[in-house]
Amino acid sequence: MTLIPLRLGLQQRVLPEYRVSLFDTLADTCRDGLGVFAGEPQPIEAVDTSAKLVRAVRFHANNMHVFRGRGYFCLQPNIVQWLNEWQPDALIVEANTRYLSTPSAVEWMHRHRRPVIGWGLGAPESNLVESTLRSRFLKSLDAIIAYSRTGAEQYAAAGNDPERVFVAANAVTFRPKGPAPIRVPAFKGGQPCILFVGRLQERKRVEILLQACAALPPEIAPRLVIVGDGPDRARLEDIALKVYPNAEFTGAKHGGQLDVYYQTADIFVLPGTGGLAIQQAMAHGLPVIVGEADGTQGELVSTLNGWLLEQADAQALTRVLLDALYDVPRLRSMGLESFRIVAEEVNIEHMVEVFASAVEFAVSHPRGY
């Protein structure tokens, strides 16, 4: 793995559990250490921040949130204090103009002639004021890391030099260590098994999955396993009793507890947004059906390993399931392609390599502070 021969800082609004492996792996490549500056989420957010960094050094941000929901802003008033303490040679920040303290961090770094790399989803179309503020902020950065090719294209379209834009497909799993799982060319007992794994929230649209399974003909009526817990569980169990009573709700499972569910499934389905479990499913050699979400799913899902739902409704999902479940050999082939993608293209190790390349570029190609 490429060595980053300096001290690196990384700003986050919060430190979700799923980022810990990435940041500790990144810390392994930093010769002089990685400091992660992050605070706490809003009370209404369903963000698991329980995991602790082992090799990276955590610094606590005093997050102050203004407003709620998607329109919130966040202040981190002690960010310059952290920079003075940690003294990073390069800094990675979330490329989000709603984080109102980040420009002061960029200014501090540039005043000390040190580069700043942004990291974000992209730059979708927005109103004139937001677009102008975002453009000004992005152009102050020495390089940008996008979650996806779509995001990179948006950054370039917003006026950023494509040479300064890097793509690190959003990964939450390591490269698989063993060969792809081998699955028999038929459903166990003649009945397909559909798997959902994730926090049970309305935005995951699990009710659509229940309705779609209920609409399938009896000969392919699946065993539906819903792994997870959350605020929407009671509502979903009520819907299941009326619509698809054979659905199994297992509650939350973590780590190695999930393996048996991935191993016995035939296909993974996430109709809504989010879904860190998609990559876990692919690492277990499963084809996937997912909602289009924010565009990052395009790095993971193609016609070779699954389906992207253009419409998040039960009718569209039923059509896709009909297409999928009547062709078992194709499903198995798609599962092998899922495994290949995670093994070769979308994994934490590859993500760290891109981060190292972006830092090296930013250090060697400063904008001229």
Q: What is the pLDDT of residues 266-294, one digit of tens each?
A: 999 999 877 678 999 999 999 999 987 55
Helix (H) or strand (E) holding 235: helix 233-243
Question: At 311, is the pLDDT very low, low, confident or very high (cuts 50, 70, 90)?
Answer: confident
Mean pLDDT within 363-368: 84
Helix (H) or strand (E) holding 8: strand 8-14
Among 264, 188, 199, 260, residue whose Cα is nearest residue 226: 199
Is residue 18 helix, strand or coil? Answer: helix
Paired tokens of 17: 């559990």
Placement of tokens 């297409």 in the chain = 323
- Report how far apart, in Å, the C-alpha atoms of 116 and of each of 9, 256, 344 are: 9, 38, 28
Placement of tokens 């289009």 in the chain = 292
Does the domain formed by 188-344 have CATH 3.40.50.2000? yes
Please report the DSSP string for 176-211 in residue order.
PSSPPPP--SS-GGG--EEEEES---GGG-HHHHHH
Per-residue model confidence (pLDDT) at position 293: 59
d(CA 294, CA 147): 10
Strand partners, 224: 194
Task: Express as a percent the part of the chain with pLDDT over 90.
Answer: 75
> Where in the sequence of the chain do the CATH 3.40.50.2000 domains occur?
8-171+347-364, 188-344
The CATH number of the structural domain formed by 8-171+347-364 is 3.40.50.2000
Instruction: Calculate the average pLDDT of the chain.
Output: 92
d(CA 7, CA 139): 24
